[in-house]
Structure 1
């Protein structure tokens, strides 16, 4: 007689793949094997290469299915012949990420950027943008997690370079003199946004209303040229 536990265990065994699925899987597996042999590494999803991205996504699906017990034994055996196929990087804590960022800042005097050619710097930059700041807003990351970088400007809140209204007005005058028109959204979005804020400012927005006459005069001047 089969016990409920045995029935549950049997139900978790992945069903044999269909011939069609096996044919498709084998084709991608062969592509994956050839890529790893040529590159000597696992494909990564953070890449501009379409083939590497495709294979990295496929590998992630296989790993997820394997962890969930959904990957058929034959597929497991075949993937196990590729060193590193089932090996994932150990998860770093937020504290460890913060310590790495603090060390980078101490050495370079700046925060890591996502556009760097250095892979380590890029990973730190992506953590700042994609995990740290959203995590803080969502309350997932605590103050204790980020203690090593709490005093570094721009870590918790990205440092923003603010442009004064005086500077915007000077930019507007220069733009109008050079192009003979008011700035547009496509070629000068920040300046165009400031102009709109000035022209649509409410009665209590004195900072913007103070420039309304000047902006209107520039607009009239360029309109008179056309």
Structure 2
């Protein structure tokens, strides 16, 4: 689990077509369910907490952490993450941000959160101008 998270930068997904990844994800889901239901032995929780930090993070916590990662990226780099970067982690952040701009997984509360930690998150560099006075290259008659 720890090796997968470190190498991929994300948790394994139950949507994966790779059988090993799928089974790893199902195991993780089972551990989370058992922990939240109070059915996990304390020794196992301590081991997972120590060996695999963040293993029991909720979806909302992961979402908020990702938004903060993008804010830190922008602070450190002076720009938003790029989808064409050679860095996998940067491309992952860019895809996440694109999904938010498209409204995927967005709620009014999440929009307020993003506006607070990442002002201007919804502005894309490649937006078409809305001003009709932009020169078209034609001359007036």
Structure having the higher helix fraction is 1
Q: Taking structure 2 as the reference length, what is the TM-score of the superposition?
A: 0.50
